[in-house]
Amino acid sequence: MLQIYNTLTRQKEYFRPLHEGHVGMYVCGPTVYGDAHLGHARPAITFDLLYRYLMHLGYKVRYVRNITDVGHLEHDADSGEDKIAKKARLEQLEPMEVVQYFTNRYHRDMEALNVLPPSIEPHASGHIIEQIAFVQKILDNGYAYISNGSVYMDVEKYAKDYPYGKLSGRNLEDIKTETRELDGQEEKKHSFDFALWKKAAPEHIMHWPSPWSEGFPGWHMECSTMGTKYLGEEFDIHGGGMDLMFPHHEAEIAQSCAALGHDTVKYWMHNNMITIAGKKMGKSYHNFITLDQFFKGEHELLSKPFSPMTIRFFILMAHYRSTVDFSSEALEAAEKGLGRLQETWNRLMKLQPSDKSTVEIGNLSERCEEAMDDDLNSPIVISHLFESAKIINTIADGKGTISAEDLKQLKDVWRTYVVDILGLRMEETGTEANGSMDALKGAVDMLLNMRLEAKRNKDWTTSDRIRNELTALGFQIKDTKDGFEWTI
Ligand code: ZN
């Protein structure tokens, strides 16, 4: 039975959905004013793994992942201007053109990483009316105040009735000393009060009418609003990166409790961060590498381009709650590992059954499931798969046989875990009804059969020539007991 680590209770808990057979899951999505980088890939892949596994377990999952397009997550340090608005102004674009451009590019990157699209992908800008209503509820309940056209959460008042800081393990005293939020300082009762609605400055081009001012929602409001709109006042899972735990998720809990009188989320899940050469990714370190740069190899920290599947495998090789340190060498190691997985896959798909098995395939399926049930332990799943590679190689090398039943079971486990759950795209050599691939396969097989014939006739010149020329073209040829194997 699936156990997941709940950040709120700080322990692994058995997953029991609120509504039998159904799971509601919300994950904080990207802010779309720039290309997605490695830091975006980790939560996307982590929660894609969870989404895929929940579906494998037979749940009907409603997966909501938002698009933050009001751009208030990070204001420009100098002008205090909304980043999307600033980009739009500089490039003379409609703000929604900027949003659409980067949303399209985000989708393209996610598709390359084989991250499944969510069931609903709501935009913050498309839910302004709902956000205003949510702010109004908090005001009505007395946990917010209006100041100069903006609305702020009254954190001190809230903390008297609810535990503020429970998710990140902070108390109000810690938060008081930690908060250096200067934005709107003169309007707020306390520095740690956060904005639910902000009055727009005249140069601010993204703004909407509200009962308090022409303005825009505060940066935590969209997730409280859209989560409950699409998943109900109580839902199962809320996920995101650990960096969002405070203040974003803490504020979300406060807003929801202040408006509705209770928690909305049963299980909070957070993936750990990716560091680059031991350093946090951040603007001041100049170490942001976009996914596009990875795919093209265009960054000084990269030795070469890395395929999206290598990035995905690299992330899955670590448990989602442990830190991952990126380096070009680590990615090269992941690339080799993925190559070995693909090679084993190719060999497995070509195996022929015999009357009986001389190998023990064991309880591979159960062991993989056990690892996934243990808080999505993908590295253990991968190690089980590599262990079964030994069996596959034994049979492929002619040192053992496998029955049709065992072979089917082995193939099923590999398909289920490698393709469906880990979401790794495997190249199907010759088994896919792919016209050009079949033609290529036919041609190479023909050449290698000619080589076999040449060898039988002791025509070493022809045999070596075919081998060398195919190798030069990028084919890897391996002689086996029954003939040959090749990959590109
Ligand atoms: Zn969020």
Q: State the pLDDT at residue 77.
A: 45
Distance 245 CA to ligand 1 centre (A): 9
* 112 Cα to the center of ligand 1, angstroms: 24
Which tokens sit at 457? 């006739």
CA 480/CA 206 separation, integer angstroms: 66
What pLDDT is stored for residue 282 in this prediction? Answer: 66
CA 295 / ligand 1 centre spacing (Å): 27
- Alpha carbons 12 and 399: distance in angstroms, whole number: 43
Confidence of residue 182 (pLDDT cuts 50, 70, 90): low
The mean per-residue pLDDT over the stretch 204-208 comes to 86
Q: How much distance in Å is there from the Cα of 342 to the middle of ligand 1? A: 36
pLDDT tens digits, one per residue of 346-386: 999 999 999 999 999 889 999 999 999 999 999 999 999 99
Question: Given this model, what pLDDT does residue 18 score?
Answer: 98
Q: Residue 62 Cα, ligand 1 centroid: separation in angstroms?
A: 17
Quote the pLDDT of residue 434: 56
Say yes or no to pLDDT of 485 above 90.
no
Percent of the chain with pLDDT over 70: 94
The packing angle between helices 404-414 and 328-350, to 10°, is 150
Q: What does the block give as tokens for 57?
A: 């377990």
Render pLDDT for 130-171 as a digit per residue (tens, 0 to 9): 999 999 999 999 999 999 999 999 999 999 999 999 999 888
Beta bridge partners of 326: 276
Give the separation between CA 66 and CA 453, rounded to whole angstroms: 60
For the chain, what is the mean pLDDT? 91
pLDDT tens readout for residues 55-109: 999 999 999 999 999 865 444 444 556 777 778 888 888 889 989 999 999 999 9
Residue with tokens 């499944």: 116
* Distance of CA 258 from the midpoint of ligand 1 (Å): 17
Q: Tell me the per-residue pLDDT of 14-47, one tens digit each, with 9 for 90 and over.
A: 999 999 999 999 999 998 888 999 989 999 999 9
Q: Contact, 5 vs 377, CB < 8 A? A: no
Most confident of 218-222, 375-379, 451-455: 375-379
Exposure class string for 181-190: b at 16+ Cβ within 10 A, else e: eeebeebbeb
Rounded to the nearest whole angstrom, what is the distance from the C-alpha of residue 314 to the centroid of ligand 1?
Answer: 25
Task: For residues 196 and 251, give the distance between their C-alpha atoms in angstroms, rounded to a whole number.
Answer: 10
pLDDT of 468 over the 70 cut: yes
Residue 387: partners with Cβ closer than 8 Å, 6 or more residues away: none
Q: How many CB atoms lie within 10 A of CB 439?
A: 10
Q: What is the pLDDT of residue 78?
A: 47
- pLDDT score of 279: 83
Considering only residues 482 and 317, tell me which one the structure prediction assigns the higher pLDDT: 317
Mean pLDDT confidence for 422-433: 76
